[in-house]
Chain A
Amino acid sequence: MSKAGSMQPRERRLSLLVTVLAFALPVIFVLVPLAIFLVYSFFSVDQGTIVYAPTLGNYVRFFTDPIFLPVFWNTIVLCVSVAVICILLAYPAAYFLTTLRGRWRYALLMLLLVPLLMSYVIKIYAIRSILGLNGFLNKALVAIGILQQPSTLFVFNMNAILLTLSLLLIPFAILPIFLSLERIPQTLLRASDDLGASGLQTFLRITLPLSLPGVASAASFVFVLAIGDFLTPQMVGGISGFTFGRILYSQFGTAYNWPFGAALSVALAIVVICAILIGERFGRSRGTSV
């Protein structure tokens, strides 16, 4: 008894240390930088140096200047579209994977995830040469006879960003959907079959509802990754594909207006946090009902 009692303080100290470390890492590396950002967004810039006097000017400018809000909305619409496209393409792929047996299922899943091993920039370069006016896509469409001559429909505009982002982010949609599909108990499907439901009925009334949490988290994943990306729009967006990420990026590079850039990031962070919350909320409420 007494021995156990003497061990307790030391154990408690150890567990306290572990707890502190566990909290310290995210606090130091995530929360503190975010807080610094938030603080910076209330500063301003004069003649290339940062003025450390609190002001709401950056936020006023964001809401009143006619250029920022439209670009902001357009970017959100763009990224929602990317998420929808990714889901529409990823769902059938993930569903097909679950119909495979044993080793094939995971071998194919790995193949679908292989693009993630490649450098992001290299992928964008590759996609850009595919989309170009003399690129593979145009040449193929002309060769098949769908187009009379190469089209500029997906060259340096919003469509190009949409296509490129969707292509880049599909793996992030496949994985959560596949996991949620895989988790559906086979017994439920068999019971449905026994009770005389058709394949389509089983899918619509059992598989689809039960996989929605995966769809929700896939959608929020893709949306968040897409909205934070400035490189893809910068490299394939051309003149009409101007996104919020590009404005943000320019505040830190050429403009050297960190406070305003910080304010824009705060706006972006709020959207991202909302997207994650919605995705998680939707995912969890469905998940618990299983």
Chain B
Amino acid sequence: MGLKKAFLRLATIGLGIGLMTSAALAANLRVLAWDGYADPDWVKDFTAATGIGVDVVFIGSDDEIWAKIKGSEGQDFDVFAVNTAQLQRYIKADLVSPIDITKLPNQKEVLPRFRDLSKVSGDTKDGKVYGIPFCFDSIGLIYDTDKVKPAPTSMSVLWDPAYKGKVLAYDNGEHNFSFTALTLGYKDPFNLDAEQMAAVKARLVELKRNVLSFYTTADEAQQIYQNNDVALIWANYGQQQVKALQKIGAHVAYVNPSEGALAWLDNWVISKGVRDNAAAEKWIDFMLTKKVSGQLSERTGFGNTVVESSSAGSNDKLVWLNNVEDPLKRSDMWNEIKATP
């Protein structure tokens, strides 16, 4: 008999908990982010501080974010992370809401370069703010401190005949055109006219003759570094790549070139279908606290917008990646460059 009563009580409690959680689920903030942007301990702290529950869905590619947000016309998520090059596409498709930065007290405390969002290309449209930057990494230059002296300051060193056959470059036409355009002093490396394209192409043919190989994954670059005489690496994977190399005992250092380093910048944005705008704002503000931002950099190796990190010094010039004028054209020209004997 006692057993039956206990069992019944247990069932009642179970039902109660079930109802509570389902009620909580209905009001939970729905976050879509890359792995590393919404760690469980932060979510726990956020819920403890604000009383707002959070459901996080992780994604693995830019295309996946687009598919998820566009597929539901923004109704399935409240807040999501997207980079500046992608953001304009979402604004154009009317999938994101403007953000009132007066509701984000922590945004006033961010690093100087992120304070005026109208100066961060891609974050605003028609004077309205759509993205709050929180995480970035530059595509800098890794150099072997034993082999490259003095320390390089510009990507132009990749063309230096002294390092012929010791340069590792990245196998991607888009980025290679952009960074070479920067070394040539062009203002907008993402929109090149025909004449500039031809000049960049000629430079890239010269670059090709100076490099050992073009790599695609960070892993691959590391393996090539270990088995060959490599002095310079164009670091598509930025800080992560440096740290991995240092871990295996390589004497390498990282520098953002003086002509400007290409860099990606991820933003928190509020979707069109947001259910509770205030909760979304609280989440973004929470992510901009010194504690969370600092931990983000510690854990991922990426830079953050609040605390100084090794991704970029305060004087480093960063050029946020943007959509290029004609990806197909750049890819075709990149093939031509590779086919040039």
Question: Is B227 on the interface with A (CB-CB < 8 A)?
Answer: yes
How far apart are the CA atoms of A240 and B208 in the complex, in Å?
9
The one of A71, A133, A246, A255 in contact with B228, judged by C-beta atoms closer than 8 angstroms, is A133
- Asked if B228 and A256 make an inter-chain contact with CB atoms under 8 angstroms apart, the answer reads no
Point out the residues of chain A lying under 8 angstroms from B223, CB to CB: 125, 128-129
Known pairs A152-B165, A155-B212, A250-B335. 5 more at Cβ < 8 A? A239-B212, A239-B213, A250-B334, A256-B331, A257-B331
- Asked if B227 and A239 make an inter-chain contact with CB atoms under 8 angstroms apart, the answer reads no
Q: Give a binary string over B207-234; 1 marks a CB under 8 Å from any A CB, 0 the rest.
A: 0110111101000100110111100000
- Asked if B228 and A155 make an inter-chain contact with CB atoms under 8 angstroms apart, the answer reads yes
- Asked if A238 and B212 make an inter-chain contact with CB atoms under 8 angstroms apart, the answer reads yes
Contacting residues of chain B (218-259) with chain A, CB-CB under 8 angstroms: 220, 223-224, 226-229
Nearest residue, chain B, Cβ from A70: B339
- Asked if A135 and B227 make an inter-chain contact with CB atoms under 8 angstroms apart, the answer reads yes
Contacting residues of chain B (300-341) with chain A, CB-CB under 8 angstroms: 327-328, 331-332, 334-336, 338-341
Point out the residues of chain B lying under 8 angstroms from A135, CB to CB: 227-228
- Asked if A48 and B327 make an inter-chain contact with CB atoms under 8 angstroms apart, the answer reads yes
Q: Give a binary string over A194-230; 1 marks a CB under 8 Å from any B CB, 0 the rest.
A: 0000000000000000000000000000000000000
- Asked if A238 and B173 make an inter-chain contact with CB atoms under 8 angstroms apart, the answer reads no
Question: Is A254 on the interface with B (CB-CB < 8 A)?
Answer: yes
The one of B165, B209, B331 in contact with A254, judged by C-beta atoms closer than 8 angstroms, is B331
Question: Is A132 on the interface with B (CB-CB < 8 A)?
Answer: yes
Point out the residues of chain A lying under 8 angstroms from B335, CB to CB: 67, 247, 250, 255
Question: Is A235 on the interface with B (CB-CB < 8 A)?
Answer: yes
Would A71 and B339 be within 8 Å (CB), given that A128-B223, A133-B227, A255-B332 are in contact?
yes
Task: Jot down 25 A-B pairs with beta carbons below 8 A, ordered by A.
Answer: A48-B328, A67-B339, A129-B223, A129-B227, A132-B226, A133-B228, A133-B229, A135-B228, A152-B165, A156-B212, A156-B213, A237-B213, A238-B211, A239-B208, A239-B211, A239-B212, A239-B338, A242-B339, A247-B335, A254-B334, A255-B331, A255-B332, A255-B335, A256-B328, A257-B328
B-side interface size class = 20 to 34
How far apart are the CA atoms of A254 and B332 in the complex, in Å?
10
Q: Nearest chain A CB to B62's CB is how many angstroms away?
A: 14
Q: Nearest chain B CB to A93's CB is how many angstroms away?
A: 28
How far apart are the CA atoms of A199 and B148 in the complex, in Å?
62
Q: Nearest chain B CB to A253's CB is how many angstroms away?
A: 9
Contacting residues of chain A (146-200) with chain B, CB-CB under 8 angstroms: 150, 152, 155-156
Q: Nearest chain A CB to B265's CB is how many angstroms away?
A: 22
Point out the residues of chain B lying under 8 angstroms from A156, CB to CB: 212-213
Nearest residue, chain B, Cβ from A129: B227
Point out the residues of chain A lying under 8 angstroms from B281, CB to CB: none
How far apart are the CA atoms of A54 and B247 in the complex, in Å?
54
Point out the residues of chain B lying under 8 angstroms from A150, CB to CB: 229
If over half of B's interface residues share one DSSP class (helix, strand or loop), that class is named, otherwise mixed; here it is helix
Would A254 and B228 be within 8 Å (CB), given that A67-B335, A239-B209 are in contact?
no
Question: Is B174 on the interface with A (CB-CB < 8 A)?
Answer: yes
Q: Give a binary string over A240-279; 1 marks a CB under 8 Å from any B CB, 0 the rest.
A: 1010001100100011110000000000000000000000
Nearest residue, chain B, Cβ from A135: B227
Q: Nearest chain A CB to B223's CB is how many angstroms away?
A: 7
Point out the residues of chain A lying under 8 angstroms from B328, CB to CB: 45, 48, 255-257
The one of B208, B220, B339 in contact with A247, judged by C-beta atoms closer than 8 angstroms, is B339
Question: Is B196 on the interface with A (CB-CB < 8 A)?
Answer: no
Question: Is B172 on the interface with A (CB-CB < 8 A)?
Answer: yes
How far apart are the CA atoms of A152 and B220 in the complex, in Å?
19
Q: Nearest chain B CB to A87's CB is how many angstroms away?
A: 29
How far apart are the CA atoms of A250 and B334 in the complex, in Å?
10
Q: Nearest chain B CB to A49's CB is how many angstroms away?
A: 11
How far apart are the CA atoms of A235 and B211 in the complex, in Å?
14
- Asked if A242 and B228 make an inter-chain contact with CB atoms under 8 angstroms apart, the answer reads no
How far apart are the CA atoms of A237 and B213 in the complex, in Å?
8
How far apart are the CA atoms of A68 and B224 in the complex, in Å?
28
Nearest residue, chain B, Cβ from A235: B220
Which 9 A-B residue pairings sit nearest by Cβ, starting from the closest?
Answer: A132-B227, A255-B331, A238-B213, A67-B339, A133-B228, A156-B213, A129-B227, A242-B338, A254-B331
- Asked if A128 and B339 make an inter-chain contact with CB atoms under 8 angstroms apart, the answer reads no
Question: Is A15 on the interface with B (CB-CB < 8 A)?
Answer: no
Would A256 and B327 be within 8 Å (CB), given that A125-B223, A239-B208 are in contact?
yes
